[in-house]
Amino acid sequence: MDLKLPIAIVDELTESVVNSTGTLDLASGEIHNVQYEDYDVKAEGLPAEDEEYEFTSGLLTNGKRDVEFRVEVDVLTGRYSVTPSELLELKGRAAKLFSTK
């Protein structure tokens, strides 16, 4: 299955958040094309490298409804992804999100 969906990404820090968007590959769980909003990753580094970093979440939206899920960040490679177990659960929740009116 080659299904890639646009998602919103939120890196939660102690006193602030860093918003970005990306594309989730539902086959592999990898998140590509991460584009930060009002954040210079080259100058400031990955949000996950910040000492105030707490966690990262993703948001898949369809109209007014959405599904939130946990996102893993590999600070060595800078890659965002979803774990296999989270991805399996997300696929079921996404199917309901897009099939229910």
Give pLDDT, residue 3: 85
Give pLDDT, residue 6: 95
Give pLDDT, residue 2: 64
Burial class (CB in 10 A: 0-12, 13-18, 19+), 59: middle
Ordered per-residue pLDDT tens for the chain, 101 residues: 568 999 999 999 999 999 999 999 999 999 999 999 999 999 999 999 999 999 999 999 988 888 999 999 999 999 999 999 999 898 888 888 777 65
Q: What topology does CATH give the domain 4-99?
A: Thrombin, subunit H (2.40.10)
pTM for the structure as a whole: 0.90
Give pLDDT, residue 100: 63
Written as six digits, the tokens of 5 are 């969906």
Number of CB atoms found within 10 A of residue 57's CB:
15
| 97 neighbors 86 (Cβ within 8 angstroms) | no
